[in-house]
Amino acid sequence: MKLVALGDSIMKGVLLRSQGERCHYSLADKSIGECCAERLGGECLNLGKMGCTIEAGERILDRYLDKCSEARYVLLEYGGNDCDYNWQEIAQAPDQEHFPRTRLEVFEEVYERVINKIKSVGAIPLVLSLPPMDAEQYFAFFSQKWEEGFRANVIRWLGGSTNTIMSGHELYNLATWRVAQRTGVQWVDVTSGLLKGNHFRDFLCDDGIHPNEAGHQLIEEAIIAYLRRQKMIA
């Protein structure tokens, strides 16, 4: 069975490796899509890209649409970058209006277009929900080298709490469900598995946004379990 995986750094297989106070990004030995394909006795073309938004993802899809026609399933994982902001700009101008990298209505419109393109070549799109994030840890990570005034500016713009980051993230997560419903495709909940037991931070890297190896395994399990429940695989 052949799979194609489209998405951002999570689908690509990016992990944050920490060694004391130093950290760096690297790739997992196998991505989520590759692990799923292996369990299904097939192969996966991983087209995930770090920093990818849904609009960039559509451009990648257009280049590889013929490859999707050869696949049974196409895994889609977008939203984590789309809901993000240019935090440096906000820190420098907290009194100005700022928007996510992809506005919500554009995110949904383009996502629907991506899904319909995949359906048009006979492949089955599988829309993944977003893994949970740790907003407090994410804020600490991206602002760690800033002066205190810049951090205070962002907190003020957020209304006094980093929870606002998480709320925005959840808006885009809910949008993935709406898009799947409107286009009549499968929506795979990978969020719940990471939230069970109230220890979701154990499944995230130190940047608060990338699942770690254990998180990757839970996402893989959620995808396989979903396909079995829907009788899409044996």
Q: Mind listing the domains of the chain with CATH numbers?
A: 2-84+104-140+167-229 (3.40.50.1110)
Sheet containing 2-7: which strands, arranged edge to edge? 43-46, 2-7, 73-77, 124-128, 186-188
pLDDT at 204: 96
The pTM assigned to this predicted structure is 0.95
CA dist 199 and 123 (Å) reads 36
Q: Which helix (H) or strand (E) holds 176?
A: helix 163-183
pLDDT at 54: 98
Q: Which helix (H) or strand (E) holds 7?
A: strand 2-7
Instruction: Quote the DSSP letter at residue 211.
Output: B
Residue among 192, 222, 194 at smallest CA distance from 209? 194
CA dist 76 and 58 (Å) reads 11
- Residue 120: half-sphere exposure toward Cβ, Cα within 13 Å: 10
pLDDT at 234: 79
CA dist 79 and 130 (Å) reads 7
Query: Average pLDDT per run of 10 along the chain, which is 234 residues long?
Result: 96 88 88 97 97 98 97 98 98 97 98 98 98 96 94 97 97 98 98 88 95 96 97 90
